[in-house]
Amino acid sequence: MARIVCFGDSLTSGHGIGAAAAYPAILQQKIRAAGLACEVVNAGASRSTSSEALQRFDAALRGDVHVLVLALGANDGLRGVPVPQLEANLTRMIEAAQARRIAIVLCAMEALPIHGWSYTVAFHRMYEQLAKRYQLPLVPFVMLNVIGRAELLLPDRIHPNAAGARAIAEAIWPHLEPLVARVC
């Protein structure tokens, strides 16, 4: 069975709500509801930066992977990882997946202006540039409709609750659905 791998950090893994309520599980429900036969794999790991994710990337793409939902960078932004380093890590993942003919949906992240406005702007633009360079569908910041809305967040005000995870899945689905329709 064709696999769709959601590769990311705690926003993907389901921190505080469990994998069964995380957005990859919601995407799996959408795929089944559409009558398609693909398996969605949650390859999220809490606290993961792009550098740490590189260490587990090859293992995440084992098997019959057809689509990669790449949702990394939030922790890099919080830690002030230099944008060129984040870009290099994401580039390695994108090129490795494309070399295997795996379609990619890139999910943009944003950096709070705690490291300066120029960092935040460069961080934002980097996702747009990667999407353009590699001709990838780009999901705007997955937390865009979640952040700041208490009814969609856990008490930590950082991570989505189950309703927030559904909102993230709704943001990703329009970009993922055309790819899924071709491979499932």
Q: Note the pLDDT of residue 184.
A: 84
Q: How confident is the model over 94-139, as pLDDT tens digits?
A: 999 999 999 999 999 999 999 999 999 999 999 999 999 999 999 9
Interaxial angle between packed helices 83-99 and 117-134, expressed in degrees from 0 to 180 and rounded to the nearest 10: 20
CA-based R_g, the chain, Å: 15
CATH number, domain containing residue 7? 3.40.50.1110
User: Active-site positions?
Assistant: 10, 156, 159
Q: How confident is the model over 29-58, as pLDDT tens digits?
A: 999 999 999 999 999 999 999 999 999 999
Backbone angles phi, psi at 145, to 5 degrees: -95, 10
What's the pTM? Answer: 0.96
Q: Is pLDDT of 1 > 90?
A: no
**Distance between CA 83 and CA 180 in Å, rounded?**
31
Q: Note the pLDDT of residue 81.
A: 98
Q: Is pLDDT of 183 > 90?
A: no
Q: How confident is the model over 129-179, as pLDDT tens digits?
A: 999 999 999 999 999 999 999 999 999 999 999 999 999 999 999 999 999
**How many structural domains is the chain composed of?**
1
Range of the domain at 28: 2-183
Q: How confident is the model over 67-88, as pLDDT tens digits?
A: 999 999 999 999 999 999 999 9
**Distance between CA 139 and CA 168 in Å, rounded?**
10
Q: If 0-12 CB within 10 Å is exposed, 13-18 middle and 19+ buried, where does residue 95 land?
A: exposed
